[in-house]
């Protein structure tokens, strides 16, 4: 939608608030928290979302950065919603399948 109306914008915010509430409930069940992983590269600085019950180690951060390096061909790209929500397999460290 290129020109959102005030009504559509308000509806979208309600959905985002519901999504936040659901993610908080999910965290109560499995303990997964979202971590932003910055990957260094001389030409860009992408950020990856990783869902984990513990703070990621440096080894894990480097491993994730290497595995996802090819996804970033441009300087700025949106973060995939499935990564933000923790349903993509690559965004999780608990070994569980996606929803």
Question: Which tens digit of pLDDT belongs to each residue from 10-62?
Answer: 888 888 889 989 998 999 999 998 888 776 665 555 677 888 899 988 888 87
- For 9, 28, 31, 44, 83, the CA distances from 87, given in Å and listed in that order, are 25, 16, 14, 25, 6
CA dist., res. 50 & res. 93, Å (int): 7
The pLDDT assigned to 73 comes to: 57
Both 5 and 41 in one domain: the answer is: no
Average pLDDT over residues 70-95: 68
User: How many domains would you assign to the chain?
Assistant: 2
The percentage of the chain sitting over the pLDDT mark of 90, rounded to a whole number, equals 10
Q: How far apart are CA 52 and CA 33, in angstroms?
A: 5
- Is 38 found in the same domain as 25? no
d(CA 71, CA 56): 21
For 39, the domain range is 31-99
Which residues sit opposite 49 in a β-bridge?
36
pTM: 0.64
């Amino acid at each position: 939608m290129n020109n959102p109306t005030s009504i559509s914008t308000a509806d979208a915010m309600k959905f985002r608030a519901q999504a936040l509430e659901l993610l908080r409930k999910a965290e109560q069940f499995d303990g997964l928290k979202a971590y932003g992983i910055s990957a260094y590269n001389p030409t860009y600085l992408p950020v990856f979302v990783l869902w984990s019950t513990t703070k990621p180690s440096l080894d894990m951060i480097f491993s994730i950065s290497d595995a996802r390096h090819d996804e970033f061909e441009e300087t700025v790209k949106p973060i995939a919603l499935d990564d933000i929500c923790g349903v993509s397999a690559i965004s999780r460290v608990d070994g569980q399948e996606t929803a």
